[in-house]
């Protein structure tokens, strides 16, 4: 299993952890942004992270029937974790701004679902996916992600298993520090397109 230091090194080497002034999908501002697509575009580095995360998942969850991931960011990591753990993996995608299961994907009643994401900040996408689990009368057993940057600020009450936790500050629009205000803000998230 990779250590915190080894995981952080991989994130930096792959440019998955970048610095600047970012407006996150939540609307919060941050001096750092996690772009897991950069990590996942380098298969050998991503494999190391995913294998380590899969080990953690196996230790924490023993009864997973299916992995559900939110599109876009969670699709690749969900697939890779599913491949490693030999589990069926599906994804939810937004239709008119709301997550739905399409492509004949479904959740079986009473099945045990693990939601897998790339990054959890506020937990909004994961919580939206959990509503699909509840609607199907399936069991949400928890969440897993490469990076947990929620710092206990998300509304997620279930267990979150992550490869790495990062404490990256976020700021409301009216509380942005002066040094961050001097940098042009960009919106890199998938919900900001």
Average pLDDT over residues 168-179: 91
Asked if the model's pLDDT at residue 164 lies above 90, the reply is yes
Asked if the model's pLDDT at residue 63 lies above 80, the reply is yes
> Which residues, 6+ apart, have CB-to-CB distance to 74 below 8 Å?
91, 115, 116, 117, 118, 125
Alpha-carbon gap, residue 87 to 39, rounded angstroms: 22
Q: What is the CATH number of the domain that holds 117?
A: 3.40.50.2020
User: How many structural domains is the chain composed of?
Assistant: 1
Confidence of residue 191 (pLDDT cuts 50, 70, 90): low
Q: Which tens digits make up the pLDDT trace of 66-114?
A: 999 998 888 999 999 999 999 999 999 999 988 999 999 999 999 999 9
> Which residues, 6+ apart, have CB-to-CB distance to 68 below 8 Å?
78, 89, 90, 91, 92, 107, 113, 114, 115, 116, 129, 132, 133
Bigger pLDDT: 50 or 121?
50
**pTM of the model as a whole:** 0.85
Q: Give the domain extent around 92.
A: 4-192
């Amino acid at each position: 299993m990779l250590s915190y230091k080894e995981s952080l090194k991989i994130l930096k080497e792959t440019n998955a952890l970048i610095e600047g002034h970012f407006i996150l999908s939540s609307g919060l501002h941050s001096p750092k942004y996690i772009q897991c697509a950069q990590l996942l575009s380098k298969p050998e580095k991503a494999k190391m992270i995913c294998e380590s995360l899969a080990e953690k998942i196996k230790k924490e969850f023993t009864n997973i029937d299916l992995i559900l991931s939110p599109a876009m960011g969670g699709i690749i990591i969900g697939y890779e974790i599913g491949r490693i753990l030999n589990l069926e993996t599906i994804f939810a995608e937004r239709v008119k701004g709301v997550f739905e299961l399409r492509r004949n994907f479904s959740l079986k009643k009473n099945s045990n679902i693990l939601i897998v994401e790339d990054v959890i900040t506020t937990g909004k996408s994961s919580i939206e996916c959990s509503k699909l689990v509840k609607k199907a009368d399936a069991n949400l057993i928890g969440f897993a992600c490469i990076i947990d940057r929620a710092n206990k600020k998300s509304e997620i009450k279930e267990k979150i298993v992550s490869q790495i936790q990062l404490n990256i500050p976020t700021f409301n629009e009216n509380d942005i520090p002066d040094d961050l205000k001097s940098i042009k803000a960009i919106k890199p998230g998938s919900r900001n397109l």
